[in-house]
Structure 1
Amino acid sequence: MYSEVKELILSCELPGGELISEGEIAERCEVSRTPVREAFLRLSAEGWMRLYPKRGALIVPVGERESREVLEARLLVECHAVRGVVERPEALAALVDALRANLAAHQGAAGDEFTRIDTEFHQLIVDAGRNSLLEGFYTSLAERRRRMTAASVHRDPDVSARIRADHAGLLEAIADGDADRFDALLHAHLSGVHDVPDVVR
C-alpha cells in the first residue's frame, strides 16, 4: 500500500496541498484502512505528508526552497558531467546516440511515461560523466525530480512541448562539444520548466 500511495504522490495524482483521508484511499485502492494507515505513517515519517488526527493527511507540496535547491544541485552535477564527457570523443559519441534515442522515444510519450523519459534524458548525461559519487547523489534526487516534472506538466500542458524542444537544444550543444552553451541552455531549461527564476550554480 505504501508504494501505491507514494506513486500517487510522485505522479501528482495526489497533488501537493491536497487533504486526503484514510477512507478515501482505502476505497480508491479497494483495501481496508489498516494498510492505508501504515502507509500514511511511513510517508509522514519520510516527509511526503503531514498527519492531522481526525482530519486526514496533507500532501506536502514542493516548496520554493526545495525546488531551488534541487535545481541548483542538478545544474552543478549535469554541467560537470558534460564538461568531462566533451573531453572524451568516444564517450561523447555514445552519449549523443543515447540521447537521440531518448529524444525519439519522447515524441509520442505522455503522462508518467513522459516523465520517466525526461528523467532518463538527464540521468544519461550524468552517467556519462563517470563519477560514481555524483551519479549516486543525482540518483538520490530521482523522486524529487520526477515529482517536480509531473507537477510542472500538470500545471501547464504546454510544458511538455517545451521540454522536448529544450532537450533537442541540449543534445545539439553536447553533440557540438559546447559545454558553455549547454550550461546556459540547461539553466534556462530548468528555470523555465519549473518556474523557478534566477537559479544559480
Structure 2
Amino acid sequence: MANGRVGAKDRALTYVKKQVLSGAFAGGELISEGEVAESLNMSRTPVREAFLRLEAEGLLRLYPQRGALVVPVSPDEVRAVLEARLVLEQFAAGKVAASGRAGRDAVFAKMELHIGRQRAADVTVDPDEFLEADRAFHTVLVEAAANPILGSVYDSLRDRQMRMVGESVIQAPGRIETILSEHLEIAKTVQAGDAEGALAAVKRHLASTGRTLGMAIGS
C-alpha cells in the first residue's frame, strides 16, 4: 500500500509539473486536486502531496478549499534567467568555436540531431518532446565547454528555462520555426569556428525569446 501511494504521488508530481513547465497549465490558472485526480484515475491524497511539493518549488500557490494557482512567470524571473543564460551560453559558444575542427564537427552533429527532434515533435499533441529537445540542444553546447561548475549552474536553470520556452511557443504560434532557424544559425557558426558570429547568434536567439515574453535583454 505504501509503495502504491509513493508511486501515485510521483505520477501526480510528474504529470502536474510537466503541465506547468509546458504551459498546458498556464500561469494564473487555478487547478483543483479533484480535476487532476480524476485525470489520473487516483485519489486526491497523492495529488495533494504533489501540490505541496510544487508549492515548495515555487510553481504553485495553494489556497485551501479553492485549489492551486499556477504561479505566473514574473518579469524579474524572465530577465534573470535569460541574462544568466546569455552569460553561460555565450561563454560556451565562444570556447567551442575556438576549439579544433573535429570537436566542432562532433558538437554540430549532436546539435543537428536535437534540431531534428524538435522539428519532428508535434507540440500541439505532446510539447514535452519539443521542450526536452530544446533543452538538449543548448546543453550540448554548454557541456562541450567542459566546465563542470558552469554546467552545474546551467543545469539549475532547467525547469525555469523549459517553462519559459513553453510559454513563448504558446504565446507565439510561429515561434517554433524561429527557434529552429536560430538554433541552426548557432550550430553553423560554432561549426565554422566563427566565435564572434556564434556569440551574436546566441544573443539574437535569447533576445527573441525575451521579446516573445515581453522582456528586452542584452542591451
Instruction: Tell me if TM exceeds 0.5.
Output: yes
Query: 1: distance between equivalents of 2:217 and 2:32?
Result: 36
User: TM-score w.r.t. structure 1 length?
Assistant: 0.93
Query: Percent of aligned positions with the same letter in both sequences?
Result: 40
Query: 2: distance between equivalents of 1:127 and 1:11?
Result: 24
Gaps of 5+ in 2: 1-11
Alpha-carbon RMSD: 1.6
For 2:203, the equivalent position in structure 1 comes to 187
CA shift digits 1:21-72 (9 cap, x unpaired): 1112111221111111111111111111111122211000111111111111
Farther-moved stretch of structure 1 (161-170 vs 4-13): 4-13
Q: Check if 1:28 corresponds to 2:44.
A: no
For 2:29, the equivalent position in structure 1 comes to 18
Q: Please, which of 50, 56, 68 is the counterpart of residue 45 of structure 1?
A: 56
Please state how far the C-alpha of 1:197 moved relative to its aligned partner. 4.1
Structure 2 CA distance for partners of 1:56 and 1:197, relative to 1, 3 Å: closer
Query: 2: distance between equivalents of 1:165 and 1:86?
Result: 19
Q: Is 1:79–1:179's contact at 8 Å kept on the other side of the alignment?
A: no
SS of 2:120's partner is coil
Q: Check if 1:98 corresponds to 2:116.
A: no
Structure 2 CA distance for partners of 1:101 and 1:36, relative to 1, 3 Å: closer
Q: Please, which of 98, 113, 118 is the counterpart of residue 87 of structure 1?
A: 98
What is the one-letter code of the residue matched to 1:80?
F
SS of 1:107's partner is helix
For 1:164, the equivalent position in structure 2 comes to 180
User: TM-score w.r.t. structure 2 length?
Assistant: 0.86
What is the one-letter code of the residue matched to 2:106?
A
Query: 2: distance between equivalents of 1:135 and 1:2?
Result: 26
Q: Please, which of 143, 146, 155 is the counterpart of residue 127 of structure 1?
A: 143
